């Protein structure tokens, strides 16, 4: 929802330079609150967590171009359910170190035909790349793609200085490019508070992604390379290169009383000896009754990131696999609640601490205005 008080309306009017030119300020506030309950062996864990984010955008539009200055600031607070059960892949997608940080600060340009965009400044990789609406539906972090990135690559909620652009090849095809500063200190949230823009990095992350959309169908193919050298011990450090593929679409006819859709994802590293994860497989199916008054969405997903056991054998880390059954119910145009039940196999299987499965229930509340 856009916030347009009368004062800013008068300001925009006074700063309009001619017909077809306008200056517009947009503001958003988003909150996510969660309550978790997990059972692992004979132990019960309960935690809660919250994320508050505000974004401000200043947009200048002319007959020939569209400029945007954007920033957002987020506050993350609460206990980590992932730490309690020893989940390496984040049982909650808002799990992170408690922090208050600026996540983005960039200047964007779009040409008159709206077929070319470019951004420069502090930005997160998964704002533009390796994401989709269906992959982001699940609460478990494995529904996103952060696991195939280098541990030194800029990951949400930590952004780094970067340049990204996209070119619209046809009405249905887009090609995107990006280069970001990569550094171990960038993802260390105790060092990088987000309010200081770094100028020097130890390496760079390059990424290219092609996508095709048609109706409710999506196809993505991408490649990224991080030339930072990383590893747990000497002799096994390397850069990280990987391919990824995403396919989404409808399974049911448009006239069906229940809309069925699917999500398939696969990533594969090209350097098996040193990559912490060799490959990552995701599959999900969604059901949305079209005759209901509320747009309730049910989803069932299975995720399997395969840990490189040769690389991490000294830590005795096993591959996890997890399934999630989730339902999302919009309360009104601003608020949504989501219920999630997760089965996590292998969480906590570090140094033989625990190899029993974990059962996790999450209640999440979204509010945006």
Domain CATH code at residue 81: 2.40.160
Residue 198 confidence (pLDDT): 80
- Give domain status of residue 45, yes or no: yes
- Give domain status of residue 63, yes or no: no
pTM over 0.85: yes
Residue 318 confidence (pLDDT): 64
pLDDT digits (tens, 9 = 90+) for 114-152: 899 999 999 988 888 888 888 889 998 654 445 556 666
Q: What stretches in the chain show pLDDT beneath 50?
A: 1-14, 143-145, 352
- Give domain status of residue 285, yes or no: yes
The pair phi, psi for residue 265, each rounded to 5°, is -140, 145
- Give domain status of residue 244, yes or no: yes
- Give domain status of residue 249, yes or no: yes
- Give me the chain's average pLDDT, please: 84
Could you count the other beta carbons within 10 Å of the beta carbon of residue 147?
20
- Give domain status of residue 108, yes or no: no
- Give domain status of residue 270, yes or no: yes
Residue 33 confidence (pLDDT): 96
Residue 5 confidence (pLDDT): 43
Domain that includes residue 212, residue range:
35-50+72-99+130-368
pLDDT digits (tens, 9 = 90+) for 161-198: 999 999 999 999 999 999 998 887 776 666 666 777 78
Structural domains counted in the chain:
1
């Amino acid at each position: 929802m856009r916030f347009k008080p009368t004062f800013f309306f008068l300001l925009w009017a006074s700063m309009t330079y001619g017909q077809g030119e306008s200056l517009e300020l947009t503001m958003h506030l988003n909150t996510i609150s969660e309550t978790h309950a997990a059972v692992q062996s004979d132990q019960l864990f309960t935690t809660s967590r919250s994320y508050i984010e505000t974004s401000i955008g200043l947009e200048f539009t002319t007959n020939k171009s569209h400029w945007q200055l954007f920033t957002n600031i987020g506050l993350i607070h609460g206990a980590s359910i992932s730490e309690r059960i020893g989940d390496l892949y984040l049982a909650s997608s808002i799990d992170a170190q408690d922090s208050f940080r600026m996540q983005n600060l960039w200047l964007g340009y779009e040409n008159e035909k709206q077929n070319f965009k470019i951004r420069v400044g502090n930005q997160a990789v998964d704002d533009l790349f390796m994401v989709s609406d269906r992959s982001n539906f699940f609460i478990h972090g494995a529904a996103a793609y952060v696991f195939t990135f280098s541990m030194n690559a800029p990951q949400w909620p930590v952004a780094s200085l970067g340049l990204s652009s996209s070119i619209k090849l046809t009405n249905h095809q887009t090609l995107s490019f990006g280069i970001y500063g990569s550094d171990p200190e960038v993802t260390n949230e105790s060092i990088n508070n987000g309010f200081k823009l770094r100028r020097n990095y130890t390496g760079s992350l390059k990424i290219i992604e092609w996508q095709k959309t048609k109706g409710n169908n999506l196809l993505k193919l991408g490649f990224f390379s991080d030339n930072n050298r990383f590893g747990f011990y000497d002799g096994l450090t390397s850069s990280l290169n990987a391919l990824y593929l995403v396919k989404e679409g409808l399974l049911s006819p448009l006239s069906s009383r229940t809309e069925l859709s699917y999500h398939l994802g696969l990533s594969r590293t090209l350097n098996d000896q040193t990559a912490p994860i060799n490959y990552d497989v995701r599959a999900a199916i969604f059901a949305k009754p079209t005759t209901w008054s509320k747009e309730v969405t049910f989803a069932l997903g299975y995720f399997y990131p395969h840990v490189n056991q040769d690389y991490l054998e000294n830590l005795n880390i096993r591959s996890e696999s997890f399934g999630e059954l989730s339902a999302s119910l919009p309360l009104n145009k601003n608020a949504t609640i989501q219920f999630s039940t997760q089965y996590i196999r292998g969480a906590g299987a570090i140094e033989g601490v625990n190899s029993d499965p974990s059962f996790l229930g999450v209640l999440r509340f979204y509010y945006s205005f």
